[in-house]
């Protein structure tokens, strides 16, 4: 059974697109058939992060409006053949999305793939609500700081009321992904503690992605971090998160870049 | 007073229906029978009396007849009886005062109230089993109970109930209000932050105390 997953946050700049690409690639690396869909119409980025920007012909809006077939718009990744991208349109805005069109596309994607990962735009307006509309699972990307946490809380409320599942009286499975976690700053008490974030949002923790230059480097290369350097700390955190999404229960720790034997052995257990 | 009207058969049917609805209505209430609307006739009056007796109605006197019109076994004549109106003072309507409306149950919210959500319940108390997020709002006609952390706004007693109170297990509220009087986070005693607390009104002063 295909699963529709939305990566959302409310706040911008917390790492939704990076996480979509990394989780999508990590699931594909495990042999799953994955499509990532960019819902950020007008401000598309997912194509850049996946290094597919030079191959975009048709986009989500073309398919919504019936100008192109889904198969024409899907771009298959060059490195992972079971990872596809449905890019957003850069020349249009979110008003070009229609509820019917999105519903039709998601239904069609469900038949072709194991995972349909929707990269939500920031905000809580049309683009974001349509991205979460058909979700079975939500990954809420949050930075350990108050504004991001409050916005995430708002988005969780929307997931519980505005989605198709919520309207049927079912629940959207929700997971918290804490990104840009700075171990040094956390130690100095300059960031919200993980347990505080978990207490405020009260949803299960999917993973903690450490702040790392590796993430920026991967984005600039146009390669998901799980592909560019699978042994790096953020890549390992994303790979573990993807395994948890598939149902494995792994202890959540903050991986560090120190390669020492003891460093990895005593990776700090957080929750 | 009972005043049969012609045609007698219809009146009797109506009377029987009344007896059926409220069987105890005439029990222990002897009454005056006003026969002025009916033509005199010993036989008809006798039948009427028999019918009433069959329905356990005790006639203590008769009005609207000459002594000569009455058979010897009939009750005595009377004048100036006051009318009773069975339709107006049926016991079921009079004895039972209108029941007070059943007290409304409190509204219980099992899941956390998230940022941006606003819950309004003017009929009574609101109980939140989880937490109330920053930027969320609870508006209650009665008291507000938060079993988790109260980070948002709690507006209690909003329909003019100065007795309403606010309870929470951990106070991090942005705003507290009872019956129109409010307090923002800045005005709260910093000592109470993060603690279990009770908030109530004494006159026009908002009182707060820790519960732990």
For chain A positions 40-99, those within 8 Å of chain B (CB to CB) are none
DSSP code string of A138-176: EEEEE-SSHHHHHHHHHHHHHHTTTSHHHHTT---EEEE
Mean pLDDT calculated for residue range B147-175: 95
- In this complex, the residue of B111, B135, B149 whose CB is nearest that of residue A150 is B135
B151 to A200: CB separation less than 8 angstroms, yes or no: yes
A–B: how many Cβ contacts below 8 A?
40
Interchain CB contact of B130 with A (< 8 Å): yes
Nearest residue in chain A measured CA to CA from B136: A154
Which CATH code of 3.40.50.720, 1.10.150.20, 2.160.20.70, 3.40.50.460 fits the domain covering B86-210? Answer: 2.160.20.70
- pTM score of the predicted model: 0.72
pLDDT at B97: 61
pLDDT at B42: 75
A151 to B115: CB separation less than 8 angstroms, yes or no: yes
- Torsional sign, CA B33, B34, B37, B38: positive
For chain A (271 residues), the mean pLDDT of every run of 10, in chain order, is 94 96 97 97 95 93 94 96 95 92 96 97 95 97 96 96 95 96 88 93 96 93 94 95 94 70 52 52
How many C-beta atoms surround the C-beta of residue B6 within 10 A?
A: 10
Residue B87 has pLDDT above 70, yes or no: no
Smallest CA–CA distance, residue A203 to chain B, in Å, is: 10
A93 compared with B38, residue with greater pLDDT: A93
Q: How confident is the model at residue B81 (pLDDT cuts 50, 70, 90)?
A: low
pLDDT exceeding 90 applies to what percent of chain B? 49
Q: How confident is the model at residue B99 (pLDDT cuts 50, 70, 90)?
A: low
Interchain CB contact of B170 with A (< 8 Å): no
- In this complex, the residue of B114, B131, B151 whose CB is nearest that of residue A157 is B114
B28 compared with A181, residue with greater pLDDT: A181
CA distances from A102 to A61, A116, B45, B69 (A): 9, 12, 87, 95
Interchain CB contact of A150 with B (< 8 Å): yes
Range list of β-strands (E), B59-110: 59-63, 107-109
A153 to B134: CB separation less than 8 angstroms, yes or no: yes
Rg of chain A, C-alpha, whole Å: 18
Residue B156 has pLDDT above 80, yes or no: yes
Mean pLDDT calculated for residue range B4-26: 76
pLDDT at A260: 47
Residue B51 has pLDDT above 90, yes or no: no
For chain A positions 4-33, those within 8 Å of chain B (CB to CB) are none
Nearest residue in chain B measured CA to CA from A203: B112
| CA-based end-to-end distance of chain B | 70
Interchain CB contact of A160 with B (< 8 Å): yes
Least confident of A188-192, B133-137, B143-147: A188-192
Contacts of A158 in chain B (CB under 8 A): 116
B117 to A151: CB separation less than 8 angstroms, yes or no: no
Nearest residue in chain B measured CA to CA from A161: B117
pLDDT at A264: 47
In the three-class reduction of DSSP (H, G, I as helix; E, B as strand; rest coil), residue A31 is classed as coil
The strand pairing partners of B144, in sequence order, are B126, B166
Q: What is the pLDDT of residues A1-18, one digit of tens each?
A: 899 999 999 999 999 999
pLDDT at B21: 72
Q: How confident is the model at residue B83 (pLDDT cuts 50, 70, 90)?
A: low
Nearest residue in chain B measured CA to CA from A159: B114
pLDDT at A224: 96
Which segments of chain B belong to CATH 2.160.20.70?
86-210
CA distances from A94 to A89, A98, B9 (A): 9, 9, 81
Nearest residue in chain A measured CA to CA from B150: A200
A202 to B117: CB separation less than 8 angstroms, yes or no: no
- In this complex, the residue of B113, B115, B149 whose CB is nearest that of residue A150 is B115
CB-count exposure of residue B85 (10 Å: 0-12, 13-18, 19+): exposed
- In this complex, the residue of B130, B135, B136 whose CB is nearest that of residue A202 is B130
Mean of pLDDT over chain B: 83
pLDDT at A256: 73
């Amino acid at each position: 059974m295909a699963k529709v997953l939305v990566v959302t946050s409310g706040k911008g700049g917390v790492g939704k697109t990076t996480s979509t690409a990394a989780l999508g690639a990590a699931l594909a690396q495990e042999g799953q058939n994955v499509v990532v869909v960019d819902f950020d119409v007008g401000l598309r980025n997912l194509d850049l992060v996946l290094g597919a920007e030079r191959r975009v012909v048709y986009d989500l809006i073309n398919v919504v409006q019936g100008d192109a077939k889904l198969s024409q718009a899907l771009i298959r990744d060059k490195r992972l053949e079971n990872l596809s991208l449905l890019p957003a349109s850069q020349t249009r805005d979110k008003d070009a999305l229609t509820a019917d069109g999105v519903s039709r596309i998601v239904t069609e994607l469900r038949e072709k793939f194991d995972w349909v990962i929707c990269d939500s735009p920031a905000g809580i307006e049309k683009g974001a609500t349509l991205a979460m509309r058909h979700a079975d699972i939500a990954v809420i990307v949050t930075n350990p700081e108050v504004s991001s946490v409050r916005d995430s809380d708002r988005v969780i409320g929307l997931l519980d009321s505005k989605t198709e599942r919520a309207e049927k009286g079912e629940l959207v499975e929700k997971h918290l992904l804490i990104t840009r976690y700075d171990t040094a700053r956390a130690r100095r008490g300059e960031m919200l503690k993980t347990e505080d974030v978990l207490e405020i949002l009260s949803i299960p923790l999917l993973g903690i992605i450490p702040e790392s230059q590796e993430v920026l480097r991967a984005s600039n290369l146009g390669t998901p971090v799980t592909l560019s350097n699978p042994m790096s700390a953020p890549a390992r955190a994303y790979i573990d998160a993807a395994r948890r999404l598939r149902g494995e229960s792994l202890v959540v720790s903050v991986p560090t870049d120190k390669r020492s034997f003891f460093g990895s052995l005593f990776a700090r257990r957080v929750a | 007073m009972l005043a049969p009207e012609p045609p007698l058969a219809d009146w009797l049917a109506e009377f029987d229906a009344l007896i059926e609805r409220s069987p105890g209505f005439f029990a222990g209430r002897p009454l005056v029978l006003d026969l002025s609307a009916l033509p005199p006739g010993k036989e008809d009056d006798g039948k009427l009396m028999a019918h009433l007796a069959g329905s356990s109605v005790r006639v203590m006197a008769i009005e609207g007849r000459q002594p000569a019109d009455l058979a010897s076994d009939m009750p005595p004549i009377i004048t100036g009886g006051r009318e009773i109106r069975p339709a107006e003072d049926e016991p079921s309507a009079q004895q039972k005062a209108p029941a007070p409306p059943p007290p409304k149950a409190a509204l219980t919210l099992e899941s956390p109230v998230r940022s941006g959500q606003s819950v309004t319940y003017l009929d009574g108390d609101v109980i939140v089993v989880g937490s109330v997020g920053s930027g969320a709002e609870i508006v209650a006609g009665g008291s507000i109970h938060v079993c988790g952390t109260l980070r948002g706004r709690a507006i209690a007693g909003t329909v003019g109930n100065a007795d309403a109170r606010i309870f929470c297990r951990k106070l991090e509220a942005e705003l507290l209000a009872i019956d129109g009087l409010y307090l923002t986070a800045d005005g709260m005693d910093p000592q109470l932050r993060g603690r279990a607390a009770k908030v109530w009104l004494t006159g026009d002063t908002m009182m707060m105390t820790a519960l732990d």
